[in-house]
Chain A
Amino acid sequence: MNMSDYRRVNTSPERVFNEKEARQIVDEILSYMNKDGHARVQVSSWWGAGQQWARNRAALNADQREVTVIVSRQFRNIMGSAITNQTDSKSLRGIVQHMDYYAARWPNKVPPDMITTRAASDVRGADVWADETYNRSVIDNAAAIEELTQLSERENLVSSGYMETTGASSLTFTRDEWGRAEYEWGMVTQAQCSATVRHPKGVGSAWVGNTSFSVNRVSPSEIALRAFEKCKQALNPVRLEPGRYQAILEPAATATMVGLFMRMFIRSSPEEFAKGPMFLGVDSSINRYRSKLGLRIIDERLSISHDPAHEYFGTHVAPLHKKVDFVKNGILAGLTTHYLAHLNETSDIYPVFPTSSYRVSGGDTSIEDMISSTKRGLLVARLAQPESLDDDSGLYMGVTRDGLWLIENGQITRAVRNFRWTESPLFALNNVEQIGVEEQVFDPVLSRNPFGNSSYSLSLNNVVVPPLKVNDFSFTSTIDAI
């Protein structure tokens, strides 16, 4: 039996569905579904070309394609959902049946005020589809990787890394309980490249990476050259006493801190009303937890926003369909939630899932100027493996990785052994000395399908942050790993 005779597929040369193909599938699914209640159908397709290298040689080149079809429906208090990656009629009919079959067995189990559809929006965002990314050939990438691994071999260093170009499309149909329906179409591309360069004896390591919707902004050669330079500067690190240091966080390190901070803006379930440092105690007069909206929470020079019209974020890649200021001049200006009850509290809580795409306003101080004005401190390339120690206070623990240098009297004097750190983003962002120029950092989508797996994961992780000089950053113990 050959299944291709009845299956609609995204076969070569088209690697992702166009709008017409996706619409045909969505409409077929709708023909199988009941017309009542909230409904959501999402058909997305994804293509990715990933190239891994290690030990100065190409390790594996991969071409992968995936489809995701998600259906969900809520009627009264009954909700069901089902997911498949097949688009033949039998499969499409099958997931509607699965959705109904299981939904009929979970009555009264939808949280009464859970937001199950997104508000319509007329915001038109930036175009984040780049033909150059979609059309980038594996041969071009392989040549770039060959060049940089040859260079690495000549420099007696060991390079490993990953380059990936992806394209994805998605059509989402949403119908609310009043029968208002809309189709939402979007296409995105993403290029990512990251390289780790290590000394063959393991006495130094450095990492550089970048992501963008356009592959033209992600140069493997440039990334590798920066990693070579950093690795040479990171050789033979010395032990330093743990303690509080003035720390210059390079953009990748800032992004880790701000990423942890962004998690605090989420109210993801009714039970979590009271959790997190963005919330105060119960106001007994209204029997609700008060938030810190309107209060200053971080340095007043910092603002954090999401703007779908900005070229970094785009329309369809953004989970937020409107411009949102999370923090304006240090003051908490917006939170996100899944629950209608939260929305009734204030207009500054948005009916959306938490965003992983955001921009932190920058300053104009270069990292060189930050270093030259530092009497004694540390330059930090990356803050890795963060783990929460206390949800209520937002305290985290992690390690530094791939580059840590001691600064003395305005100059980098030596590479330093990695530290374990224990710090709260709230503390760090309230103790900012200097702010650098913002830039997009490496923060690729982890899912192989930015539209897939969850009906709400419509996000590429586009993060724009500046480097920061932070006072009294807490490094708690040395670690032996390099």
Chain B
Amino acid sequence: MQTRRTLIRNSSLAAAGVAISHPATLLAAPQPLFPDGYPDRNDIINAAIQSALAAGASYADARLSHKESLAVYKYAPGRTENMAFGVRALYKGYWGFAASPIWSTDEGARLGAAAVDQAKASVLGRDRVTDLAPLGNITNGHWETPIKQDPFKLDPDEILDFNYGLLSFIRSLKNMGNIRTMFFFERNNKAFGSSNNQFVTQTLYSASGAVEFDVRDKDTQSSVGVVVEELSHAGEGYEYVRERPIRDYIRSVHEEALEDLKLPVKPVDVGRFNILVDQSGVANLLSKSVGSATEVDRVFGFEANSGGTSYINEPESMLGTLKIGSSLMNVVADRSHHGSVGRVRWDDEGVEPVRQNIVTNGVLTDLQTNREGASWIRDYYKSSGLEFKSSGSTSAPTALDVPRVHKSDLHLVPAADNTSRDSLREALGDGIEFRVPNISMDFQQVTGVIRGKAYEIKNGKRTARFADAGVLFRTSEIWNNMYSIGGSDSVRYYGIFSTKGQPPQNVASAVYSPPATFKEMTVVDVKRKG
């Protein structure tokens, strides 16, 4: 598409003598790799599945992915395109996987047989029992992330001009220091098929941004770092940029930073304090302490050699009984919300994700599962009356990657009233407030540290900034000490990346979280050495 903006820019570039590889491309956007649509992906996938079944597989699935990304930031723009084809096969209870970048029926036949060969290598005498939870009603078809504007069909000048404009706007604000802006768009065309006669396709979009800057006091040389927390990974198109009031976000955090600079900075008092943690902090706490801990493969020791295990170490007896938090704590896993980065119609095993109650009134009531993992807790599902099926938590960055259980989109259910972060601060009276803190947790999610921007709260007002304040906590302690929580209007969305597995996979999932207050937490100076 050529716009007036493009024409003006190209004309000026040409006038400046800017050389490019082919003059003809000056005005024309590169052609898409598949201008007339994809080759028949069903044929390619079917070749792989038939090959795997012919080689003796009891089950096989195959995935194709075509992922395009565009990064817009200050230097060196980047455009990436990746195609992948992965086949997974089950043979006598053992899994094999084979993947390459080649989409063809011939390659499908090779990968199908190779996946079975991989599985067969481990059949050396001892049984491995692998049950797959039933799929229920198998659905086929196509689904797309509902977006308003495809960033890959947009004139890139619009994205660039927006970024330049944003940089100029930020530079115009008072006492500005270093600035970093970045926007990232991704389109992933996926196809999945399995020996259960299922074939589905999806087009998933995501967008993310990062706006960070320092606000400096020129007299004292002190500075406050600012992150626009509303910009995180989301399941949106270009409307992510066009419709969000990004300048309002920036004005708001800039004003907050200017207020921060007026506050005195004090060393933190070590001891027990009631604390207020903002939405960002609670979201990260939830993702790490509950999201990671309730991934079924982690619970059963499949991540022991990489990320670690889980405090849920006896799932058979802990499901339905383990008290993780106070009765205010209700955690739902749900991948169906509009705008969620984890939203899909089918996961990478062809399962339609279900809404789950992970924590109910503070008690652990479910795990995030794939089809195999669900079978490990089948008895619990039977005894509790829950349907025995995968929760649909399987995903992988591309089809080249082995599908694994990753975090679903998590929701910490807010209070029924309209409690805001400001009203929680007022109700806190005296204590400490944490804004956009980091959460570090150990390799079993048992203990952790909250650290980051911290404020002294006196009579419900910010009266000072604390340098280097942190909170040491145990997971059960902090969630059981949660005594108030924000209402639905205070809930904010965060797209959070997590790394998992060997080789490591980076996958984003969403967390919806209100702010919350926690009583009598152990506050420390995190930089104080032993």
User: In the bound complex, do residue B305 and residue A161 qualify as a contact, i.e. CB atoms below 8 Å apart?
Assistant: yes
A2 near B33 (CB under 8 angstroms)? no
Closest-CB distance, B526 to chain A (whole angstroms): 6
User: What does the 1/0 interface line of A33-71 toward B look like (CB < 8 Å)?
Assistant: 110110000000000101110110111111111110000
Please give me the residue from chain B that is nearest to A146 by CB atom: B124
Nearest B residue to A142 by beta-carbon distance?
B121
Residue-wise interface mask of B (108-129) relative to A, using a CB-CB cutoff of 8 A (1 in contact, 0 not): 0010001101110110111010
A475 in the interface, Cβ–Cβ < 8 Å?
A: yes
The proximity string for B residues 85-110 relative to A, scoring 1 for CB distances below 8 Å and 0 otherwise, is: 00000000011111111111111001
Q: Is B385 an interface residue (CB 8 A)?
A: no
Are B21 and A138 within 8 A (Cβ)?
no
Rounded to whole angstroms, the CA-CA distance of A236 and B122 in the bound complex is: 33
In the complex, the chain B residue whose C-beta lies closest to that of A150 is: B126
Contact residues in A for B446 (Cβ distance below 8 Å): 479-481
Whether, in the assembled complex, B308 has its beta carbon less than 8 Å from a beta carbon of chain A, the answer is yes
Contacting chain B: which of A81-89, A366-374, A408-416?
Answer: A81-89
Residues on A with beta carbons closer than 8 Å to the beta carbon of B101: 9, 65-67, 85-86
Name the segment of A100-108, A170-178, A326-334, A342-350 touching the other chain. A100-108
Q: How far is the CB of A228 from chain B (nearest CB, A)?
A: 14
- Residues on A with C-beta less than 8 A from B530 are 242-244, 422, 474-476
A84 and B124 contact, CB distance less than 8 A: no
Interface membership of A283, Cβ < 8 A: no
Nearest Cβ on chain B to A90's Cβ, whole angstroms: 7
Q: Counting CB contacts under 8 A, is A110 at the interface?
A: yes
**Count of A interface residues, CB-CB < 8 Å:** 111
Select which of B19, B81, B84, B309 is within 8 A of A202 by beta carbon.
Answer: B309
Distance from B468 Cβ to chain A, minimum over Cβ atoms (Å): 8
A207 at the interface (CB under 8 A from B): yes
- The DSSP consensus for interface residues of chain B is loop
Q: Using Cβ atoms and an 8 Å threshold, which residues of chain B touch A195?
A: 305
* A107 with B18: CB separation less than 8 A: yes
A207 to B19 alpha-carbon distance, docked (Å): 56
How far is A59 from B526 in the complex, measured between Cα atoms in Å?
40
Would you call B258 an interface residue if the criterion is a C-beta within 8 Å of the partner chain's C-beta atoms? no
A79 interface residue (CB < 8 Å to B):
yes
Closest CB-CB distance, B223 to chain A, in whole Å? 12
Taking a contact as CB atoms under 8 Å apart, the answer to whether A100 and B156 are in contact is no
Of B21, B98, B503, which one neighbours A446 at CB under 8 angstroms?
B503
How many angstroms between the C-alpha atoms of A271 and B29 in the bound complex? 34
B358 CB to nearest chain A CB (Å): 21
Q: Is the CB of A61 within 8 A of B503?
A: no
Flag if B400 contacts A105 (CB, 8 Å): no
Query: Known contacts A139-B121, A446-B503; is A3 also within 8 Å of B103 by CB?
Result: yes
Knowing A62-B98, A78-B18 touch, does A3 contact B9 (C-beta < 8 A)? no
We find that the number of chain B residues with CB closer than 8 angstroms to chain A is 92
Q: Which residues of B contact A389 (CB under 8 A)?
A: 451, 468, 526-527
B20 at the interface (CB under 8 A from A): yes
Chain A residues 105-138 with CB under 8 Å of chain B are 105-107, 109-111, 114, 137-138
Residue-by-residue, is B27-59 near A (CB-CB < 8 Å gives 1, otherwise 0)? Answer: 001110100000110000000000000000000
Given A34-B19, A139-B121, A474-B529, are A64 and B302 neighbors across the interface (CB < 8 Å)? no
The answer to whether B443 and A401 have CB atoms under 8 Å apart is yes
CB atoms of A94 and B31 under 8 A apart: yes
Q: Does A375 contact B (CB under 8 A)?
A: no
Is A4 within 8 A of B102, CB to CB?
A: yes
Interface check B141, CB cutoff 8 A: no
Partner of A481, one of B9, B30, B100, B308: B308
Min CB gap B165→A, angstroms: 15
Do A4 and B106 touch across chains, with their CB atoms under 8 A apart?
yes
Set A7, A109, A161, A448: member contacting B104, Cβ < 8 A: A7
Given A107-B18, A481-B446; A54-B302 close (CB under 8 Å): yes
* Chain B residue nearest in CB terms to A4: B104
Which residues from B are CB-within-8-Å of A36? 19
Asked if residues A390 and B75 are in contact (CB atoms below 8 Å), the reply is no
Q: Could you tell me the distance in whole angstroms from the C-beta of B163 to the nearest C-beta in chain A?
A: 10
Residue of B nearest to A395 (CB): B527
A76 within 8 A of B: yes
Contact A76 B39 (CB under 8 A): no
Nearest first, the 6 closest Cβ-Cβ pairs linking A and B are A58-B122, A474-B529, A481-B444, A97-B30, A1-B39, A4-B104
| B interface list, Cβ under 8 A from A | 9-10, 13, 16, 18-22, 25-26, 29-31, 33, 39-40, 74-84, 94-107, 110, 114-115, 117-119, 121-122, 124-126, 128, 156-157, 160, 178, 300-302, 304-306, 308-309, 311, 313, 400, 402, 438, 440, 442-447, 449, 451, 468, 472, 474, 502-504, 524, 526-530
A interface residues, Cβ below 8 angstroms from B: 1-4, 7, 9, 11-12, 32-34, 36-37, 48, 50-52, 54-55, 57-67, 72-73, 75-76, 78-86, 90-91, 94-107, 109-111, 114, 137-139, 141-143, 145-146, 150, 158, 160-162, 164, 194-196, 198, 202, 205, 207, 242-244, 271, 384-385, 387, 389-390, 395, 397, 399, 401, 418, 420, 422-423, 446, 448, 474-477, 479-482
11 contacts between A and B (CB under 8 A): A1-B40, A7-B104, A34-B19, A55-B301, A63-B98, A66-B84, A72-B76, A84-B80, A85-B82, A103-B20, A142-B121
